[in-house]
């Protein structure tokens, strides 16, 4: 995934896919606003836009909206059903969870039965170039067909294994990005001066043309907004579980070998020892106030929304790109205000697959003149 799919070279190859998805995203917001007196549900449309990009990257096939929504639903069903249960940790209790296990197996079968035909369609497209008009030049699946997965055997992944890898790719990149975009728009509504300054930077950088990925590199304030967003609202509050490989000491505690260690990302971003006025959403801290943070953790850990070190999230580059591009396009096209007008934004979060807003953000959008 890292070498063949998420490298900077490969990401550039999907530039047109992202541009097309962003245009459809903005149009979807306009249509939904017209139907609902200017009101949109931010996370719903943002999630679908990201999902559209990842599906094309994953399967190398262009799909209509009906198929995309069906794949999305199948993937969401998996996340909903496969919440951790106590019998995962205490198998002796599994007899009490037979209904849940049965339902999980049903959802898995639905997922495999629905996804495998798309895998086979891609396989045929590779074997017979030009035979499928919906196929594009490259996909994540292409990198998986030739992987040798079984020790001592020259066998590629089974279709069931491919479905699992695809599921990881789609689910890992969709909700995390959409959640971040929702929190970002909420902060721009709650801090209108930040929204105004961001719009002014976009306007000065690109004028009347649509923001593209090259433009983002020339926008320090946008980059500061995204960094502050990831400090305040990391999409997950814990990194994936790590395990200690040798005895060590951490925070004054002795940690024996094989102990699981959970790192609380949100606590680092809120630490007053590391940040001035940490509860305030303040992108200026990264521009004029002398504070800085390397989100990769190479030069020190003051925030770690993607983890750090060798186990850092492989989606760091694509995730920050999607968040930056979506926020820029959303602010360029619309002025965002609270719904109902004057309502105070509730920044309470709740844990789903990611940490989402407890009350899904509904906002009023007004096209820029």
pLDDT digits (tens, 9 = 90+) for 77-104: 888 887 777 887 788 888 888 888 889 8
Residue 313 assigned as binding residue: yes
- What band does 289 get if pLDDT is binned at 50, 70 and 90? confident
Mean pLDDT value across residues 323-333 = 97
Task: Say how far apart CA 39 and CA 42 lie, in whole Å.
Answer: 9
pLDDT for the residue numbered 145: 87
CA distance 123 to 136: 12
pLDDT, residue 309, reads 87
Angstrom CA distances, 351 to 134, 169, 234, 338, stand at 37, 20, 12, 23
- Cα separations in angstroms, 319 against 85, 180, 255: 29, 10, 33
Residue 153: is its pLDDT beyond 70?
Answer: no
Q: How far apart are the first and last CA of the chain?
A: 42
Sheet bearing 362-367, strands edge to edge: 39-41, 362-367, 334-338
Q: Of the segments 67-76, 155-164, 202-211, which one has the largest average pLDDT value?
A: 202-211
Residue-averaged pLDDT of the chain: 91
Phi, psi of 111 (to 5 degrees): -65, -50
Q: Could you tell me how many residues make up the chain?
A: 369
Per-residue CA distances from 49 to 27, 174, 245 (Å): 11, 9, 40
> Which pTM value belongs to this model?
0.90
Structure tokens at 24: 């459809």
The domains of the chain, with CATH numbers, are 8-367 (1.10.630.10)
Average pLDDT over residues 151-176: 85
């Amino acid at each position: 995934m890292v070498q063949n799919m998420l490298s900077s070279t490969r990401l550039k190859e999907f530039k047109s896919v992202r541009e097309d998805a962003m245009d459809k995203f903005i149009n979807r917001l306009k249509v939904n606003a017209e139907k609902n007196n200017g009101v949109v549900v931010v996370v719903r449309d943002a999630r679908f836009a990201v999902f559209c990009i990842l599906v094309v990257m994953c399967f190398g096939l262009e799909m209509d909206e009906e198929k995309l929504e069906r794949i999305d639903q199948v993937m969401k069903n998996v996340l909903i059903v496969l919440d951790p249960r106590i019998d995962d940790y205490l198998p002796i209790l599994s007899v009490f969870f037979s209904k849940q296990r049965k339902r999980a197996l049903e959802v898995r079968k639905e997922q495999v039965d629905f996804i495998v035909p798309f895998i086979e369609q891609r396989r045929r497209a590779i074997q017979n170039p030009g035979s499928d008009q919906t196929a594009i030049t490259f996909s994540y699946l292409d990198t998986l067909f030739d992987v040798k997965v079984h020790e001592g055997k020259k066998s590629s992944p089974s279709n069931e294994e491919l479905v699992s890898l695809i599921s990881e790719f789609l689910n890992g990149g969709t909700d995390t990005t959409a959640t971040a975009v929702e929190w970002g728009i909420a902060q721009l509504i709650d801090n209108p001066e930040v929204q105004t300054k961001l719009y002014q930077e976009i306007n000065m950088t690109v004028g009347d043309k649509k923001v593209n990925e090259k433009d983002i590199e020339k926008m320090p304030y946008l980059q500061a907004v995204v960094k502050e967003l990831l400090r305040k609202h990391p999409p997950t509050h814990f990194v994936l579980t790590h395990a200690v490989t040798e005895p060590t000491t951490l925070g004054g505690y002795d940690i024996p070998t094989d102990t699981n260690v959970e790192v609380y990302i949100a606590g680092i971003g809120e630490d007053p020892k590391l940040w001035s006025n940490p509860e305030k959403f303040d992108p200026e801290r990264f521009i004029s106030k002398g504070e800085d943070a390397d989100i990769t953790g190479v030069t020190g850990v003051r925030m770690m929304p993607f983890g750090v070190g060798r186990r850092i999230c492989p989606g760091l580059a694509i995730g920050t790109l999607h968040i930056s591009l979506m926020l820029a396009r959303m602010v360029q096209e619309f002025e965002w205000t609270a719904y109902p007008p004057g309502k105070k934004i509730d920044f309470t979060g709740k844990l789903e697959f990611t940490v989402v807003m407890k009350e899904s953000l509904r906002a009023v959008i007004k096209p820029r003149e």
